């Protein structure tokens, strides 16, 4: 049997909250353990119930989704954040990922897309809606070159660069192993090394790093 993913839904619109609760209840792999009307409530619920994922809206009163995501990195770092929002502009996407979100979907996403993204994020993978990826590129292109780069960018081996590119294209560890004709433990070693070298802690940040350095 598939492992159940425990989810907190955070959205300031009641009809959206209840709609998402109903939708997720139809999915065998998902259990909704709470709903929140703003970011502060989402953080409280996440700290108390320790879900696998918070399905987070961005624009909410009292504490928005970006601030809530940033707080969760400190107060409940094991809880993943998947953004689900109507906003797909450069600033919203980049701010959410920098705050620590592992995934970003727009509310045009269907049930299957949400389920797949929840599964990916719960297992530490990135889930970025293809519809917003170009916004990430546009935002990165506008960053002045004088900004300091993450540590270690010049010290990646050719194999680590190759692995990073595949991560940025959404490959799982198993798929990377098949692509490079190595075993999964070797892939994990490469990932641990490159994460340490470029100063990232998860796949979502690695994807952002890859975009920033033209590796996609």
pLDDT in tens, 39-81: 999 999 999 999 999 999 999 988 999 999 999 999 999 999 9
The overall average pLDDT reported for the chain is 87
What angle, 0 to 180 degrees and rounded to 10, lies between the N-to-C axes of helices 203-212 and 184-198?
60
pLDDT category of residue 135 using cuts at 50, 70 and 90: low
Q: What is the mean pLDDT of residues 172-190?
A: 91
Task: Find the domain containing 161 and state its range.
Answer: 153-212
Q: What is each CA distance from 128 to 65, 82, 148, 188, 207, in whole angstroms?
A: 16, 9, 25, 21, 9
**pLDDT value of position 164:** 92
**174 class by beta-carbon count within 10 Å (0-12 exposed, 13-18 middle, 19+ buried):** exposed
Same domain, 136 and 162: no
The set of long-range contacts for 102-105, using a CB threshold of 8 Å and a minimum separation of 24, is 102/126, 102/127, 102/202, 102/203, 102/204, 103/127, 103/128, 103/204, 104/128, 104/129, 104/132, 105/129
| Token pair in block for residue 84 | 């689900």
Residues 134 and 187 in one domain: no
Residue 146 is predicted with a pLDDT of 41
pLDDT over 50 at 149, yes or no: no
Per the domain annotation, does 147 fall within a domain? no
* Positions of E strands within 86-159: 103-106, 127-128
CATH of the domain at 195: 1.10.10.10
What's the confidence (pLDDT) of residue 141?
63
Domain limit, last residue, from 111, 140, 169: 140
Mean pLDDT value of segment 162-189: 90
């Amino acid at each position: 049997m598939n492992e159940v993913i425990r989810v907190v839904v955070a959205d300031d619109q009641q009809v959206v909250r209840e709609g998402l609760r109903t939708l997720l209840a139809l999915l065998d792999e998902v259990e909704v353990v709470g709903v929140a009307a703003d970011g502060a409530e989402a953080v409280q619920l996440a700290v108390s119930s320790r879900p696998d994922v918070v399905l987070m809206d961005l624009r909410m009163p009292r504490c928005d989704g970006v601030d809530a995501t940033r707080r969760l990195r400190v107060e409940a770092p094991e809880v993943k954040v998947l953004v689900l929002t109507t906003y797909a502009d450069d600033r919203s996407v980049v701010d959410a990922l920098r705050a620590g979100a592992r995934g970003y979907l727009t509310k045009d996403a269907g049930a299957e897309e949400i389920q797949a993204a929840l599964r990916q994020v719960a297992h530490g993978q990135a889930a970025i809606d293809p519809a917003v990826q170009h916004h990430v590129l546009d935002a990165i292109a506008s960053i002045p070159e004088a900004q300091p780069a993450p540590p270690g960018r010049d010290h990646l081996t050719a194999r680590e660069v190759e692995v990073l590119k595949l991560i940025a294209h959404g490959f799982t560890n198993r798929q990377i192993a098949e692509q490079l004709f190595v075993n999964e433990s070797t892939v994990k070693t490469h990932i641990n090394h490159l994460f340490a070298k470029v100063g990232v802690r998860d796949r979502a940040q690695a994807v952002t790093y890859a975009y920033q350095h033209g590796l996609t």
